[in-house]
Structure 1
Amino acid sequence: MQKKRSIFLYPLSLLYGLVTDTRNFLYNARIIKSVEFGIPVICVGNITAGGTGKTPHTEYLIDLLRKKFNVAVLSRGYKRRTSGFRLADITSTINDIGDEPWQISRKFPDITVAVDGNRVRGAKKILEIKPETGVIIMDDGYQHRRLIPGFSILLTEYSRPMTRDHLLPYGNLRESIHNTNRADIIIITKSPENISPMQKRILAKEIRKAPYQGLYFTSIKYQNPVPVFNDLKNDHNEFDLAKNKDCGIVLVTGIANPDPLLEFLKTRFGEVEHLRFEDHHSFTSADIEKINLTLKKLKNASGFVFTTEKDAVRLRGFTNIAEPLRSLFYYIPVGVNFLNNDKEEFDNLIVNYVRKNKRNNRVSERKRHP
């Protein structure tokens, strides 16, 4: 969804651009020191505020690497109610570490998940506590210049590429478009499955990638709905898409860009009502009541509540939702699919980077060339 723009915000965008460009210049000129770790560090990020698909791409990397290496994920833990460094464990809550790190820690219990707004401190702590760590995936870390990643993946969305946007607050860009030069790979996410070679060439030309940068296209892979509440996850409660295709759906989202999911559901179900909340929304009892009322107003008497995997994490906090409403909540897991048979090439590129950059347990401060 495109941001509504006010021309009065444009001067502020110019000022914001001056500040961010000055900051990047100081790092590029090596006036401000950056820290490099003697371990592979992969950064997954964007220069667009929200909605590019960082979490599913981070989870893709985790799944790719965790059977070969000891993987750690470092996030800032957006909207958590704690500060400083936190290592996720079985007792961690969303308030402790944030919804996305909590989701990752529960989905991949065999890896290390930590949060810290100071990425350098966070990486040091991870290596102190988990010295066997073989690779750190830095989630949403493209603007964190203090920590030098060995490999940077930059995401931009097909329907709203970064080249057609403007700097905050007039637009959604966190920094100027020329700073894409720090990326090793650019991924155009949420691309249509049937994208034509011509469309690919047009976007590739528009992105203006450097010769050293790889360019990949991924699409969203929606999976079968799963009950939101863990005690209802069994064979009896598996959602039958064919059987329920005529049912009504209430879609509940608190993510930056729910439009692709909404359009997907409209092609599968005859009636879809959308309750849209702000990104990382903390649901309330009033919200649950609103969901229930919307469900009752569906034309089809047989209806379900669908949500995202990220929102399901926050909705599980409502343990007092009564039946039959409780059993009607499902979330849609999301994966990524590399188009044009590029999956093998991408996978090999990532695995080879990690293998070739052996850990030496050394933390060194140096200044990196832009």
Structure 2
Amino acid sequence: MRQLRKILYPFSLLYGGILRLRNYLYNQQILESRVYDFPVICVGNLSMGGTGKSPMIEYLVRLLATHYRLGTLSRGYKRKTKGFVEVSTAHTALEVGDEPLQFKRKFESLLVAVCEDRRKGIEQMRKRQKTPEVILLDDAFQHRRVQPNLSILLSAYNDLYTQDCVLPAGNLREPKVGARRAQLIVVTKCPVDLSKAERQNIIRAIQPNPDQLVFFSSITYADQVTNGKQHIPLQVLQDTFTLVTGIAKPKPLVEFLKAKGFSVNHKQYQDHHNFSRQEIETLEAEPFIITTEKDFVRLRDYISPEKLFYLPIKMEFIADAASFDQRIKKHVQAYACDRSSTS
């Protein structure tokens, strides 16, 4: 692997140089980046997936939904449709993407939309009779045609962007210097017992700007699997299940199940995998399947409901949760005050 990285490194330098030029043109306003007078919060990363963007979006929805009309806007990765689509619970993952459909089915009153062009997507969402007061941009950190007024950058504990390089030798979508655009940096998927000393070491490695705040979060797994109607405690499950994953980094889930004493029969697919008919038939022959919520959204229309379950997850902060929540709420409230004073 090291030898391959050395071979590919010149291409990373070339690609990184192109990205630096692109970002320079946006930073100097030579290329236009649209600014909005209402809260537009971006959740993104520098690396290629697996940082926990969906749990973060869901965390923000739970935090803000009781006081504001919210909308989420995603690209709709690997969907078969084009342009702007407002997501409904009747859509399929092939039509709108798995994560947007997951958001809509979990929060039915939430305005969920997909559009390759985030600027056009925001314009369409704002044309609704009940205009969203806050828009959450899912995976839009590199979409520079829109300038969010708050950016949350995620980086996984076991795969920090500080230790990586740009594609193709590494897994970064853009050079590390891009992290400076974020106001908040969250190190995700940390051990729940991460010490204060280790948190300080990571902060030193990140070297945040004086105005950047760094937080730490972990993923917690539920103590039961569900299909939306039935709930089965993990403690009564037998080893006769198959784990099916189509996510970027399934290792934490596998390790969690093994720690619970299960011998895991794992069928692993690529992130956002669209299952073929033959694969569906093979999975249908399995007696019992446990999967992730994102994969459940893609499989639920094809696998018998009595044999397909998912293990819910939730993001939780390691210390400073109140500080994070307060920072988000203050940002949204400030824009609301600014608009009321000028109206």
Same fold, judged at TM 0.5 (above): yes
The one-letter amino acid of 2:293's match is: E
**Unmatched tracts of structure 2, length 5 or more:** none
In 2, the alpha carbon distance for the partners of 1:289 and 1:89 equals: 27
**Unmatched tracts of structure 1, length 5 or more:** 297-303, 362-370
Match of 2:308 in 1: 329
Match of 1:220 in 2: 219
Deviation at 1:65, TM superposition (A): 0.6
Match of 2:108 in 1: 109
Q: Which moved more, 1:195-204 or 1:213-222?
A: 195-204
Q: Give the 5 Å matches for 1:8-87.
A: 8-87=7-86
Deviation at 1:243, TM superposition (A): 2.6
After superposition, the CA RMSD in angstroms is 2.0
The one-letter amino acid of 1:315's match is: L
SS in 1 for 2:232: coil
For 1:177-201, what per-residue CA distance to the aligned partner results, in whole angstroms no more than 9, with x for missing partners?
0111000000000000111122111
Match of 2:328 in 1: 350
Aligned residue pairs, count: 339
Match of 1:192 in 2: 191
The one-letter amino acid of 1:252's match is: V
Q: Give the 5 Å matches for 1:124-135.
A: 124-135=123-134
1:277 equivalent to 2:276? Answer no
Contact persistence 2:42–2:138 (CA under 8 A) = yes
Deviation at 1:4, TM superposition (A): 9.7
The one-letter amino acid of 2:233's match is: D
Deviation at 1:225, TM superposition (A): 3.6
Contact persistence 2:88–2:101 (CA under 8 A) = no
1:243 aligned to which of 222, 233, 236: 236
In 2, the alpha carbon distance for the partners of 1:3 and 1:74 equals: 38
In 1, the alpha carbon distance for the partners of 2:18 and 2:116 equals: 20
In 1, the alpha carbon distance for the partners of 2:162 and 2:72 equals: 29
Match of 1:301 in 2: none
In 1, the alpha carbon distance for the partners of 2:161 and 2:69 equals: 33
1:309 equivalent to 2:293? Answer yes
For 1:99-122, what per-residue CA distance to the aligned partner results, in whole angstroms no more than 9, with x for missing partners?
110110111111111111111111
For 1:117-139, what per-residue CA distance to the aligned partner results, in whole angstroms no more than 9, with x for missing partners?
11111111110124531100011
In 2, the alpha carbon distance for the partners of 1:208 and 1:335 equals: 28
Contact persistence 1:249–1:269 (CA under 8 A) = no
In 2, the alpha carbon distance for the partners of 1:76 and 1:89 equals: 15
Contact persistence 1:248–1:272 (CA under 8 A) = no
Q: Which moved more, 1:70-79 or 1:2-11?
A: 2-11
Q: Which moved more, 1:282-291 or 1:82-91?
A: 282-291
Structure number with higher helix proportion:
2
Contact persistence 1:181–1:210 (CA under 8 A) = yes
1:262 aligned to which of 240, 254, 265: 254
- Of structures 1 and 2, the one scoring higher in RCO (CA 8 A, sep 6+) is 1
Match of 1:364 in 2: none
In 1, the alpha carbon distance for the partners of 2:55 and 2:8 equals: 32
Contact persistence 1:249–1:271 (CA under 8 A) = no
Deviation at 1:171, TM superposition (A): 0.9
Deviation at 1:174, TM superposition (A): 0.5
The one-letter amino acid of 2:133's match is: G
Contact persistence 1:105–1:111 (CA under 8 A) = yes
In 2, the alpha carbon distance for the partners of 1:288 and 1:67 equals: 39
The one-letter amino acid of 1:241's match is: L
SS in 2 for 1:271: coil
In 2, the alpha carbon distance for the partners of 1:5 and 1:62 equals: 42
In 1, the alpha carbon distance for the partners of 2:188 and 2:240 equals: 29
In 2, the alpha carbon distance for the partners of 1:292 and 1:77 equals: 26
Contact persistence 1:248–1:270 (CA under 8 A) = no
Contact persistence 1:73–1:138 (CA under 8 A) = yes
% same residue: 40
Relative to structure 1, is the Cα distance of residues 252 and 3 closer, same or farther in structure 2, using a 3 angstrom cutoff?
farther
Relative to structure 1, is the Cα distance of residues 4 and 334 closer, same or farther in structure 2, using a 3 angstrom cutoff?
farther
Contact persistence 1:3–1:172 (CA under 8 A) = no
Match of 1:368 in 2: none
